Amino acid sequence: MKKSKEVLVSAVVVAAGKGTRMHMDKNKQYIEIGEVPVLARTLLTLQKCGRVSEIIVVVNSQDIVYCKQEIIDGYGLYKVKKIVAGGETRQNSVYNGLLDVSQNCEIVLIHDGARPFVREESIEESITAALEHGASCVAVPSKDTIKSADENGFVSGTLDRKALWMTQTPQTFRYQLIMDAHKKAIDDGFDGTDDAVLVERLGFPIKLVMGSYDNIKITTQEDLILGEAIADSREYYG
């Protein structure tokens, strides 16, 4: 039987934000939850995933030495190939990371460094979906009723909740597809809120992958309280 070709999957982890909404004296990626820094938790989960071949970490240029010493070396993160300086926006930072993946990368998984509770099965399923469909996005159905509003702050309509999903990361793509999407965004001067919207602009369909509601993004101090609860529950229930 002919052995199937192994696909090289690269993970680009974006952790270049300064976390100004946290109002603390350190970047949110390095705040500890359950005595483990947020970024270290994120990277350890990606490292455990056997299908991820390498990790590129994108951080604020001033944090490169600290990240290398305290996170990468401190937690034995051997899959981290390189630490890259981020750009002015998240989109710029992702692009910088994409430029440094291995030349034979076929699938690239893009994940927020501040989402430390991503589940390994979500990573696996996002890779499988990207291999089959070319692009995938981890998301969860909206629990709330969503209203649209007019310019004066009045309700203009109620959206069908059954069709609404809250997007998360990872978002996973065939490498050339996401590079083409980023290059077009640069040419058009377009800055999106996530990577999936850049691929949408090419008219390419994106497969939704069911995520988990505890795959939260650490943004505010309230998130730290929830994060501690999630960490405690995972240690208790496994």
pLDDT tens sequence across 60-108? 999 999 999 999 999 999 999 999 999 999 999 999 999 999 999 999 9
Amino acid at 151: E
Q: Are 202 and 159 in contact (CB under 8 A)?
A: no
At residue 49 the predicted structure's pLDDT band, cuts being 50, 70 and 90, is very high
Please, what is the Cα angle at 194 between 188 and 198, to 5 degrees? 35
Q: Using alpha carbons, select from 191, 49, 18, 209 the residue that is nearest to residue 114.
A: 18
Q: Is a pLDDT exceeding 80 seen at residue 23?
A: no
- Predicted local distance difference test score (pLDDT) of residue 19: 59
Kindly give the interhelix angle for 38-48 and 120-133, rounded to the nearest 10 degrees: 60
At residue 120 the predicted structure's pLDDT band, cuts being 50, 70 and 90, is very high
- Predicted local distance difference test score (pLDDT) of residue 236: 57
Q: Is a pLDDT exceeding 80 seen at residue 214?
A: yes
Q: Is a pLDDT exceeding 80 seen at residue 142?
A: yes
Q: Are 82 and 66 in contact (CB under 8 A)?
A: no
How does the average pLDDT of the chain come out, rounded? Answer: 93
| Cα–Cα distance list, 20 to 26, 38, 58 (Å) | 9, 16, 18
9-237 in CATH: which number? 3.90.550.10
3-class secondary structure, 143 = coil
DSSP letters spanning 37-58: EHHHHHHHHHHH-TT--EEEEE
- Predicted local distance difference test score (pLDDT) of residue 160: 94
Which tokens in the block code for residue 7? 């696909």
At residue 234 the predicted structure's pLDDT band, cuts being 50, 70 and 90, is confident
